[in-house]
Amino acid sequence: MTNRTIAFTIVFLVLNCVMGCGGGPSQLPAAPSSAAFIQSSASGAQERWNLTRTFTGHTGSEGCTLALDAIGRAASDSVLLIQRSDASMRFFTADHNTYIGAVAGNEFSATESEAGSTLECGGARIRFRTEANVSGAFSSDGGTLVAKETSVFLLESGKTITRHWDWQARRD
């Protein structure tokens, strides 16, 4: 394991705890923990990719504040880890997301559900949970991928916020 990989793993574990240690019980099944992903990755083929994610917009529930509103549409670069086993795959992003899904030929689709937290909406703090998916295709040579990511924030009020990102990645 390289120093860069070890550092990335430590940062991820700290962020995962900060993001997930304070919440109550989830209404959705929990996605596998990052530690489980890292441990299972040790036994399977893990690919390292350079990911560029571009926030392309959102719809729904005006007046609700989410941290991503401040980033605009600037592209961000990060590491994407992919683990494949036959037709199954996992995507692990630096933003603590673990998407689990399937690949058929060059096309893939994967999902994630999270308990969420609270956000400011119309002067009140409202709990939410998220359901997200990413789908796209690998290039024919397997060296690049393009995808669309959609995250739906399901507010306890019944309203939703849907956010969209474009992905472009190349294998390290």
Average pLDDT of the chain, as a whole number? 76
d(CA 38, CA 17): 15
Token representation of residue 111: 């999902």
Q: What is the pLDDT of residue 2?
A: 39
Q: Which of 25-34, 72-81, 144-153 has the highest mean pLDDT?
A: 144-153
Q: What is the pLDDT of residue 34?
A: 41
Q: Are 55 and 163 in contact (CB under 8 A)?
A: yes
Q: Are 61 and 155 in contact (CB under 8 A)?
A: yes
Q: What is the pLDDT of residue 72?
A: 63
Q: What is the pLDDT of residues 59-83, one digit of tens each?
A: 887 777 665 555 566 788 999 999 9
d(CA 37, CA 50): 19
Task: Tell me the percentage of the chain whose pLDDT exceeds 70.
Answer: 69
d(CA 44, CA 82): 10
Residue 39, pLDDT > 90, answer no
> Of 135, 139, 172, 161, whose CA–CA distance to 46 is shortest?
172
Residue 147, pLDDT > 90, answer yes
> Of 93, 103, 112, 110, whose CA–CA distance to 138 is shortest?
103
Q: Which of 42-46, 146-150, 161-165 has the highest mean pLDDT?
A: 146-150
Q: What is the pLDDT of residues 103-130, one digit of tens each?
A: 999 999 999 998 888 888 878 888 999 9
Token pair 């992919």 is at which residue?
Answer: 82
Q: What is the pLDDT of residue 145?
A: 98
Residue 90, pLDDT > 60, answer yes
d(CA 118, CA 66): 9
Q: What is the pLDDT of residue 83?
A: 96
DSSP secondary structure string for all residues of 38-51: HHHHHHSEEEEEEE
> Of 56, 48, 53, whose CA–CA distance to 147 is shortest?
53
Q: Are 118 and 125 in contact (CB under 8 A)?
A: yes
Q: Are 102 and 88 in contact (CB under 8 A)?
A: yes
- Rama region for 61: left / alpha / beta (φ>0; ψ in -120 to 50; rest): left
